[in-house]
Amino acid sequence: MLLLIDQAFKIYIKTNYYLGEEHKILGDWFRLHFVENEGMAWGLQFGGSFGKIALTLFRLVAVIWGTFYIRNLIRKKAHKGFIICVSLIYAGAAGNLIDSMFYGLIFNASHLGSHHVAHLFPPHGGYASFLHGRVVDMLYFPMIDTVLPNWVPFWGGKEFTFFDPVFNLADFYISFSFFMLLLFQRRFFPDNAKKDKAVAAQNAEAAPLQEQLHPSLNMEQDDSAATDESSTIKITPLR
Protein backbone atom coordinates (compact mmCIF):
# COMPACT_ATOMS: atom_id res chain seq x y z
CA MET A 1 0.00 0.00 0.00
CA LEU A 2 2.78 2.45 0.91
CA LEU A 3 4.56 1.63 -2.33
CA LEU A 4 1.38 2.27 -4.33
CA ILE A 5 0.88 5.63 -2.58
CA ASP A 6 4.46 6.63 -3.37
CA GLN A 7 4.12 5.69 -7.04
CA ALA A 8 0.68 7.27 -7.46
CA PHE A 9 1.96 10.55 -6.03
CA LYS A 10 5.03 10.52 -8.29
CA ILE A 11 3.00 9.76 -11.41
CA TYR A 12 0.58 12.57 -10.56
CA ILE A 13 3.44 15.08 -10.15
CA LYS A 14 5.24 13.87 -13.27
CA THR A 15 2.14 14.14 -15.48
CA ASN A 16 0.68 17.36 -14.03
CA TYR A 17 3.69 19.52 -13.11
CA TYR A 18 6.39 20.85 -15.38
CA LEU A 19 9.95 20.56 -14.12
CA GLY A 20 10.59 23.27 -11.53
CA GLU A 21 6.91 24.05 -10.97
CA GLU A 22 6.04 24.90 -7.38
CA HIS A 23 2.82 25.36 -5.43
CA LYS A 24 2.45 26.43 -1.81
CA ILE A 25 0.35 24.02 0.25
CA LEU A 26 0.64 25.31 3.82
CA GLY A 27 1.94 28.86 3.80
CA ASP A 28 5.59 29.25 2.84
CA TRP A 29 6.91 26.29 4.80
CA PHE A 30 5.33 23.38 2.90
CA ARG A 31 5.38 23.32 -0.90
CA LEU A 32 5.12 20.88 -3.77
CA HIS A 33 8.16 21.53 -5.93
CA PHE A 34 8.83 19.17 -8.85
CA VAL A 35 12.47 18.19 -9.37
CA GLU A 36 14.22 15.07 -10.65
CA ASN A 37 17.50 13.58 -9.49
CA GLU A 38 19.74 10.82 -10.78
CA GLY A 39 21.20 9.74 -7.51
CA MET A 40 20.46 8.82 -3.96
CA ALA A 41 17.82 9.90 -1.46
CA TRP A 42 17.43 13.62 -0.74
CA GLY A 43 18.78 14.49 -4.20
CA LEU A 44 22.36 13.36 -3.53
CA GLN A 45 24.49 12.41 -6.53
CA PHE A 46 26.68 9.34 -6.87
CA GLY A 47 29.36 8.86 -9.52
CA GLY A 48 27.74 9.92 -12.82
CA SER A 49 26.31 7.35 -15.24
CA PHE A 50 28.30 4.44 -13.82
CA GLY A 51 27.33 5.39 -10.30
CA LYS A 52 23.69 5.58 -11.39
CA ILE A 53 23.73 2.00 -12.68
CA ALA A 54 25.67 0.76 -9.64
CA LEU A 55 23.22 2.42 -7.26
CA THR A 56 20.20 1.00 -9.11
CA LEU A 57 21.66 -2.52 -9.07
CA PHE A 58 22.45 -2.16 -5.37
CA ARG A 59 18.83 -1.17 -4.72
CA LEU A 60 17.65 -4.15 -6.74
CA VAL A 61 19.78 -6.57 -4.69
CA ALA A 62 18.64 -4.91 -1.45
CA VAL A 63 14.96 -5.21 -2.41
CA ILE A 64 15.34 -8.89 -3.34
CA TRP A 65 17.17 -9.61 -0.10
CA GLY A 66 14.61 -7.55 1.85
CA THR A 67 11.77 -9.71 0.51
CA PHE A 68 13.22 -12.84 2.11
CA TYR A 69 14.34 -10.97 5.24
CA ILE A 70 10.86 -9.63 5.99
CA ARG A 71 9.32 -13.05 5.39
CA ASN A 72 11.84 -14.53 7.84
CA LEU A 73 11.01 -11.89 10.45
CA ILE A 74 7.32 -12.68 10.19
CA ARG A 75 7.99 -16.41 10.56
CA LYS A 76 10.11 -15.81 13.65
CA LYS A 77 7.43 -13.49 15.08
CA ALA A 78 9.78 -10.57 15.54
CA HIS A 79 8.63 -7.38 17.22
CA LYS A 80 5.85 -5.78 15.18
CA GLY A 81 7.48 -2.37 15.42
CA PHE A 82 10.70 -3.74 13.95
CA ILE A 83 8.80 -5.46 11.13
CA ILE A 84 7.00 -2.19 10.34
CA CYS A 85 10.28 -0.24 10.20
CA VAL A 86 11.93 -2.81 7.94
CA SER A 87 8.84 -2.83 5.72
CA LEU A 88 8.98 0.96 5.41
CA ILE A 89 12.64 0.81 4.39
CA TYR A 90 11.74 -1.89 1.89
CA ALA A 91 8.89 0.18 0.42
CA GLY A 92 11.13 3.26 0.17
CA ALA A 93 13.93 1.38 -1.56
CA ALA A 94 11.47 -0.30 -3.94
CA GLY A 95 9.79 3.03 -4.73
CA ASN A 96 12.99 4.75 -5.83
CA LEU A 97 14.10 1.55 -7.59
CA ILE A 98 10.99 1.64 -9.79
CA ASP A 99 11.80 5.24 -10.75
CA SER A 100 15.36 4.34 -11.72
CA MET A 101 14.46 1.21 -13.62
CA PHE A 102 11.31 2.19 -15.53
CA TYR A 103 10.58 5.93 -15.53
CA GLY A 104 13.00 6.52 -18.40
CA LEU A 105 11.04 4.00 -20.45
CA ILE A 106 7.44 5.04 -19.68
CA PHE A 107 7.70 8.87 -19.55
CA ASN A 108 8.98 11.47 -21.97
CA ALA A 109 11.42 14.03 -20.67
CA SER A 110 10.64 17.01 -18.48
CA HIS A 111 12.80 20.04 -19.35
CA LEU A 112 13.47 22.83 -16.90
CA GLY A 113 11.96 26.13 -18.02
CA SER A 114 9.96 24.67 -20.93
CA HIS A 115 6.64 24.34 -19.06
CA HIS A 116 6.32 20.98 -20.77
CA VAL A 117 4.37 18.35 -18.83
CA ALA A 118 5.44 14.77 -19.38
CA HIS A 119 3.10 12.05 -20.63
CA LEU A 120 2.81 8.45 -19.51
CA PHE A 121 3.60 5.92 -22.28
CA PRO A 122 4.41 8.47 -25.00
CA PRO A 123 4.08 7.22 -28.60
CA HIS A 124 7.75 7.89 -29.40
CA GLY A 125 9.14 6.16 -26.34
CA GLY A 126 10.68 7.38 -23.11
CA TYR A 127 13.54 9.73 -22.37
CA ALA A 128 16.11 7.15 -21.24
CA SER A 129 17.03 3.49 -21.35
CA PHE A 130 16.47 0.80 -18.74
CA LEU A 131 18.13 1.57 -15.36
CA HIS A 132 18.64 5.24 -16.31
CA GLY A 133 15.37 6.75 -15.12
CA ARG A 134 15.38 9.79 -12.84
CA VAL A 135 13.81 9.77 -9.39
CA VAL A 136 10.86 12.15 -8.95
CA ASP A 137 10.98 14.43 -5.88
CA MET A 138 8.34 16.92 -4.81
CA LEU A 139 8.14 17.50 -1.02
CA TYR A 140 9.77 20.77 0.02
CA PHE A 141 9.79 22.20 3.56
CA PRO A 142 11.71 25.53 3.62
CA MET A 143 10.68 26.27 7.22
CA ILE A 144 13.46 28.85 7.64
CA ASP A 145 14.35 31.02 4.65
CA THR A 146 16.56 33.96 5.55
CA VAL A 147 19.86 35.75 4.96
CA LEU A 148 22.61 35.10 7.47
CA PRO A 149 24.09 38.14 9.27
CA ASN A 150 27.37 39.49 7.92
CA TRP A 151 29.20 38.64 11.16
CA VAL A 152 28.71 34.87 10.59
CA PRO A 153 32.09 33.41 9.45
CA PHE A 154 32.29 32.15 5.85
CA TRP A 155 28.51 32.27 5.22
CA GLY A 156 27.73 35.80 6.33
CA GLY A 157 25.40 37.65 3.96
CA LYS A 158 24.38 34.48 2.12
CA GLU A 159 20.91 32.99 1.84
CA PHE A 160 20.13 30.15 4.24
CA THR A 161 17.24 27.71 3.94
CA PHE A 162 16.21 25.02 6.38
CA PHE A 163 15.05 22.43 5.36
CA ASP A 164 16.48 22.77 1.83
CA PRO A 165 16.48 19.27 0.19
CA VAL A 166 13.47 18.26 -1.91
CA PHE A 167 12.46 14.65 -1.31
CA ASN A 168 9.67 12.13 -1.91
CA LEU A 169 7.59 9.72 0.15
CA ALA A 170 10.05 6.88 -0.41
CA ASP A 171 12.85 8.99 1.12
CA PHE A 172 10.58 9.77 4.06
CA TYR A 173 9.80 6.08 4.63
CA ILE A 174 13.50 5.24 4.82
CA SER A 175 14.58 8.17 7.01
CA PHE A 176 11.65 7.82 9.42
CA SER A 177 12.31 4.09 9.83
CA PHE A 178 16.00 4.58 10.67
CA PHE A 179 15.05 7.22 13.24
CA MET A 180 12.50 4.89 14.87
CA LEU A 181 15.00 2.03 14.93
CA LEU A 182 17.50 4.19 16.80
CA LEU A 183 14.84 5.49 19.17
CA PHE A 184 13.22 2.17 20.06
CA GLN A 185 16.04 -0.34 19.57
CA ARG A 186 15.80 -1.61 23.16
CA ARG A 187 12.08 -2.23 22.75
CA PHE A 188 12.54 -3.91 19.37
CA PHE A 189 15.39 -6.11 20.66
CA PRO A 190 14.45 -6.90 24.28
CA ASP A 191 16.57 -10.08 24.33
CA ASN A 192 19.74 -8.06 23.72
CA ALA A 193 18.82 -5.63 26.49
CA LYS A 194 18.20 -8.53 28.89
CA LYS A 195 21.55 -10.09 27.97
CA ASP A 196 23.36 -6.80 28.67
CA LYS A 197 21.67 -6.54 32.08
CA ALA A 198 22.48 -10.17 32.87
CA VAL A 199 26.15 -9.69 31.98
CA ALA A 200 26.34 -6.57 34.13
CA ALA A 201 24.71 -8.41 37.05
CA GLN A 202 27.12 -11.35 36.68
CA ASN A 203 30.12 -9.03 36.69
CA ALA A 204 28.82 -7.31 39.81
CA GLU A 205 28.37 -10.65 41.59
CA ALA A 206 31.71 -11.98 40.42
CA ALA A 207 33.74 -9.18 42.01
CA PRO A 208 33.18 -10.16 45.70
CA LEU A 209 33.48 -13.87 44.83
CA GLN A 210 36.92 -13.28 43.37
CA GLU A 211 38.00 -11.59 46.58
CA GLN A 212 36.78 -14.58 48.60
CA LEU A 213 38.34 -17.17 46.30
CA HIS A 214 41.74 -15.43 46.21
CA PRO A 215 42.40 -14.14 49.74
CA SER A 216 46.12 -14.69 49.23
CA LEU A 217 46.15 -11.89 46.70
CA ASN A 218 44.65 -9.52 49.24
CA MET A 219 47.15 -10.69 51.91
CA GLU A 220 50.06 -10.14 49.54
CA GLN A 221 48.77 -6.66 48.79
CA ASP A 222 48.45 -5.93 52.53
CA ASP A 223 51.98 -7.30 53.22
CA SER A 224 53.47 -5.24 50.44
CA ALA A 225 51.78 -2.15 51.81
CA ALA A 226 53.09 -2.89 55.31
CA THR A 227 56.60 -3.45 53.97
CA ASP A 228 56.48 -0.13 52.20
CA GLU A 229 55.47 1.59 55.42
CA SER A 230 58.21 -0.16 57.49
CA SER A 231 60.86 0.64 54.95
CA THR A 232 60.19 4.33 55.31
CA ILE A 233 62.87 5.84 57.56
CA LYS A 234 62.06 8.97 59.48
CA ILE A 235 65.01 11.25 60.21
CA THR A 236 64.63 13.61 63.12
CA PRO A 237 66.91 16.63 62.98
CA LEU A 238 69.36 17.21 65.93
CA ARG A 239 68.76 20.22 68.11
6 has catalytic annotation = no
* Residue 174 CB coordination number (10 Å): 22
Name the amino acid, one letter, at 194: K
Under a CB-based contact definition with an 8 Å cutoff, are residues 39 and 172 in contact?
no
Catalytic residue among 171, 222, 223, 228: 171
| C-alpha torsion sign, points 78, 84, 85, 88 | positive
Residue 31: what are its φ and ψ, rounded to 5°?
-135, 155
Question: What percent helix, strand, coil does the chain show, rounded to 5?
Answer: 55, 15, 30
**Active-site residue (options: 137, 191, 223, 228):** 137
Active site residue 28: no
In angstroms, rounded to a whole number, what is the distance separating the alpha carbons of residues 38 and 33? 17
Give the residue numbers marked as catalytic: 137, 171
